[in-house]
Amino acid sequence: MSKERDVAGAMSPRKPAQSVLELAVFAGGRVSRHPLPAEGRVSLGRSNENDVQIDDSSVSRRHAILHLGPRITIEDLGSANGTRLRRERSAGPTTKLLELQLEPGKTMELSVGDAVNLGSTLIVVLPREGGASAAPGQGQGEPIVRDPAMQRLYALADRVAGAPITVLLLGETGAGKEVLAEHIHRRSPRAQGPFLRLNCAALSESLLESELFGHEKGAFTSAGQAKPGLLETAEKGTVLLDEVGELPPGIQVKLLRVLEDRKVMRVGGLSPRPIDVRFLSATNRDLAAEVKRGAFREDLFFRLNGIALTIPPLRARVSEIAPLARAMADRTASALGRPAPAFAPETLAALEAHRWPGNIRELRNVIERAVVLSGGDTLLPEHLLLDAAAAAALPVEALPAASPSPVEPRPSELSAEAAPPAGAPPPAGGAGGLRSELDAIERRRIVDALERCAGNQTQAAALLGMPRRTFVARLNAYGIPRPRKGKGKG
């Protein structure tokens, strides 16, 4: 976990221009984002005296400093568990992951997107998303909002954002509930505070209680030191309780007490601690029906349901499919070092005719795959592979030759070498080449999800919309080492 301050505003005395970078911190199975100044120094460590506090026992009290300016460098301050930079290096058909240990007192240059380990946590400097002054769907990183119903929904969300009322976000899996939650946070008076998300379906009841409310030293066997929970860490910010309909009954009771009293009791604690947090929650369940059948507390439902915002499925917002697809294609092509592809009219027609049961998440998968499979500058319907059965029967000669360098796996703390799985056919033309490219895309997405979830397999599977058993089978099929217990809780 990490504690966010207004780093960009406090640390750039010479250049008050809007920051274009942010620091993503992956710790404790969650990610938090911190705006960075255009120039200056940002201290990182476990102590609350740092500009970015990372509450993890593997991180030293004063661990490292980011130096920002024309060049980005990181300096280790003599940390106990070290600072390590991980970079990819291509060697023939494989991509090896190099780990560079930073000596105490020394600095090393970083590039945007480089993965750095501080102890067992992970930090990455990324382009900053958003622009709080932009209209919905217009600013960089802002959601694309074209459908009239969605425009009305986002206009209502803007009005709700300024009030302290709890918000319940409803909609199908992949419809954009988390995107709307982040938009509400950015438009709220708490925009400079942290935005933290907890997947309530990804943790057992005991772990969920500890993550939400924290624990005191000695509260249970492995509690070697006191740890504040998510609700304490999000002070003056926003907490999104994702999949809130999956909360166990025991946690429902305690969460209700927190919502009423605005105080948390740590596991093993003797006195409650006051908190100042805005609550958003999201679910794809019909909570009213869950209340009727006794699976969800009625009083908690009323507390969470200050106002409910329902996000329409993608199939009901056809006018947004084309702009969403173009934006996704542009990002994928940029990552591959290619110009943005055009869409043939029949390709857009096929996209708009599809039912999209997986909503925006499915659309993203389809577009990323299509950009990789397209060797030219135009995406054709056969690149979409919308019908799995038709895709299997598709003559390979109907597809343009794929790029010789499709998508390389990103760095991952879980794999020291991003090579094809043992026994996989070598990349080549024909069906083997197509299969290899599709496998490379899926492998990259799995490794990416594990990295984003700090090795937690259950959370990574949920992020991909994949059953955990299928996810584990994919790990084995692609030769991806399963994280050790010390790395993640999956």
pLDDT digits (tens, 9 = 90+) for 85-105: 866 554 444 445 567 889 998
Q: Average pLDDT, whole number, for the chain? A: 77
Cβ-based neighbour number of residue 409 at 10 Å: 23
Percent of the chain exceeding pLDDT 90 equals: 33
Higher pLDDT, 278 or 387: 278
pLDDT for residue 386 is more than 90: no
Percent of the chain exceeding pLDDT 70 equals: 76
Which amino acid is present at 336? L
Among the listed ranges 137-141, 232-236, 255-259, which one has the minimum average pLDDT value? 137-141
**Rounded-to-integer distance, Cα 141 and Cα 72, Å:** 23
Question: In the prediction, which pLDDT does 476 show?
Answer: 85
Residue 74 near residue 107, CB atoms below 8 Å:
yes
pLDDT for residue 181 is more than 90: yes
pLDDT for residue 121 is more than 70: yes
Question: In the prediction, which pLDDT does 467 show?
Answer: 74
Higher pLDDT, 52 or 429: 52
Question: In the prediction, which pLDDT does 31 show?
Answer: 65
- DSSP code per residue over 369-413: HHHHH--SSEE-HHHH--SHHHHHHS-GGGSPPPPSS--PPPPBT
pLDDT for residue 134 is more than 80: no
Q: Could you give the residue ranges of the DSSP H alpha helices within 148-224?
A: 148-161, 177-186, 205-213
From the list 72, 97, 102, 75, the residue with the least C-alpha distance to 86 is 97
pLDDT digits (tens, 9 = 90+) for 263-280: 988 888 888 889 899 999
Structure tokens at 414: 């879980």
- What pTM was computed for the model? 0.55
Helix axes 457-464, 431-452, angle to 10 degrees: 120
Higher pLDDT, 67 or 376: 67
pLDDT digits (tens, 9 = 90+) for 410-445: 333 333 333 333 334 344 344 445 556 667 777 888
Question: In the prediction, which pLDDT does 210 show?
Answer: 77
**Rounded-to-integer distance, Cα 117 and Cα 257, Å:** 37
Structure tokens at 443: 């492998």
Query: What pLDDT band is residue 158 in, cutting at 50, 70 and 90?
Result: very high
pLDDT for residue 401 is more than 80: no
Among the listed ranges 64-78, 308-322, 473-487, which one has the minimum average pLDDT value? 473-487
Question: In the prediction, which pLDDT does 70 show?
Answer: 82
pLDDT for residue 157 is more than 90: yes
Question: In the prediction, which pLDDT does 435 show?
Answer: 55
Among the listed ranges 18-27, 248-257, 335-344, 447-456, which one has the minimum average pLDDT value? 18-27
Question: In the prediction, which pLDDT does 297 show?
Answer: 94
Show the CA angle centred on residue 31, arms to residues 192 and 488, nearest 5°: 155
Residue 237 near residue 231, CB atoms below 8 Å:
no
**Rounded-to-integer distance, Cα 485 and Cα 488, Å:** 6
pLDDT for residue 488 is more than 50: no
